[in-house]
Amino acid sequence: MDDQTRIELEAAAFRRLRDHLAERPDVQNIDMMNLAGFCRNCLGRWYQEAANDRGIAMTKEEGREAFYGMPYEDWRALNQTEASKEQKDAFSATHD
């Protein structure tokens, strides 16, 4: 496989993951962090870091908006619920 095809396939897989997560707002970021060690915010940060690595100025908020398809605070107000004590404890056990 040539490099260009590999890059296109990786980009297509990323877009599919982004779209899948957009279709599943019921899956909370804290649950993703607890189970997989990453969440939508991580993906937005990785997007931002990739842009910055290529000399493209992008803030954390701009990276999140690129991933969420809207400002993060808007997505959060629409979809994020308060984390339970159990979710917070699980997060603390692995990420603090």
Taking residue 37's Cβ as centre, other Cβ atoms within 10 Å add up to: 10
- How many Å apart are CA 49 and CA 69, to the nearest integer? 17
Cα torsion through 62, 13, 77, 51, rounded to 10: -10
**Angle of CA points 52, 23, 5, to nearest 5°:** 50
Instruction: Give me the pLDDT at residue 95, please.
Output: 83
Instruction: Give me the pLDDT at residue 61, please.
Output: 97
pTM for the whole structure? 0.88
What is the DSSP secondary structure assignment for residue 70, as one 8-state letter? S
| pLDDT at residue 33 greater than cutoff 80 | yes
Q: What is the mean pLDDT of residues 64-70?
A: 95
In order of their start, the domains of the chain are 3-95 (1.10.3340.10)
- How many Å apart are CA 35 and CA 58, to the nearest integer? 28
